[in-house]
Amino acid sequence: MTGTSINNFVPLSNINEDSSTCPQQVEITDFTKLDHHAFKLRYRSNSIISASTIEDEKPLPVIKILGTGGTIASKAQSSNVTAGYAVDLTIEELLSHIPDLSTTCILEYEQVMNIDSKDMGLLEVETLYRQIKEDLSKYDGIVITHGTDTMEETAFFIQSTINTEKPIVFCGSMRPSTAISSDGPMNLYQAIVIASHPQSHGRGVLIALNDRIGAGYYITKSNANSLDTFKTVGQGYIGNFVNDEVKYYFPAAKPLGMTYFELDAEFDLPEVPIIYAHQGLNNKILELALKELNAKGLVIATMGAGSLSAETNEFLSNLVGPGFPIIYSKRSMDGMVPLGGLPKFNGKVFDNAVAGGYLNPQKARILLQLCLNEGYDLKRIKKVFKTV
């Protein structure tokens, strides 16, 4: 760091300054892109530890943080408010509230977008996908800050479309940065340490929240308010984070049965609506959804392990033509829809019906969209879903 002016460093806001010690500092270099800024960040501890000194001793992993917004980047009107907040913080501001990582990794970060995840649509997911693809060859791991509402969908999409051994770790928070019990700084800190850990390689896309490490392929948000919301009841967590230690329960492995899709430079996924089944379902909703939206497939959140009323199943069989895929998923958070749960007519399984396996409706929708985008016919779609 010879010849670097001290003016290139800024103090971290969470360090207590006094007359006897210099504040912990960080160098920020701005790399201007077409529509936003990307930054390289190197910590200096007490103004004597530099990135170059650390690199001479042992090469550190270089981690890229991609910010997309969410509750982790939000502020509320007071410290006791945990709802009704707005996205207002940048990645740079978030990083100023986490501990020193100078002996763990070298950080670079980029604000890809700054939105609530309820506003995360195909265009936004595509933007994030392209950024990850661009960055993967340059970094040892990727961390993505994301709102929790749709984090599981984005993580599933990235897992299904990017095949890499490098760790891609999603994190977020359930409470805004202004809350007394804000969980954002710890979740972000843990995600960075996890992405830097050598044992995180070869495990697929991870989600790190509330000291838990889960597989993005299966994990889901189970509670609208609790910090301990992301769960994989049937498949279980793959590790946890305790007292600055990353602990994995199993050897490195990715979820079994995944299908990878190599997307073209330009893609526009076909329309696939989700219908939530319930008592007294008006079957006209099915007809409207398919015809008005020009849907290419359908996902139904069935009432059990594929259960729909006999009337609804018959209505569907008369509504769709040969080859039109209908994924029978489930409303319940855990469990699966097996092949035996599909409806039968005259002893023969409804040909359009596809068992959704362990996937919840929102993830089944993404998988079906990717299959249709590849031009898969019904037979091949069934083969893909048979593995999940």
Domains of the chain, CATH where assigned: 62-248 (3.40.50.1170), 274-386 (3.40.50.40)
Distance CA 74, CA 67 (A): 12
Task: Identify the active-site residue in 68, 71, 104, 220.
Answer: 71
Task: Give the predicted TM-score (pTM) of the model.
Answer: 0.86
Residue 386's pLDDT is what? 96
pLDDT at 173: 93
Written as six digits, the tokens of 290 are: 């398919």
Given this model, what pLDDT does residue 36 score?
64
pLDDT for position 31? 57
pLDDT average per 10 residues of sequence, the chain (388 residues): 38 41 52 63 40 57 96 83 82 89 94 95 96 97 97 98 98 89 92 97 97 96 93 94 95 94 90 97 96 96 96 97 97 95 95 97 98 98 97
What pLDDT is attached to residue 40?
64
Q: For residue 21, indicate whether it is catalytic.
A: no
The answer to whether the annotation marks 183 as part of a ligand binding site is: no
Whether 117 has a binding-site annotation, put simply, is: yes
Strand partners, 28: 41
- Asked if 148 is an active-site residue, the reply is yes
Is 228 annotated in a binding site? The answer is: no
Active-site option among 68, 90, 104, 148:
148
Tokens coding 308: 């729909």
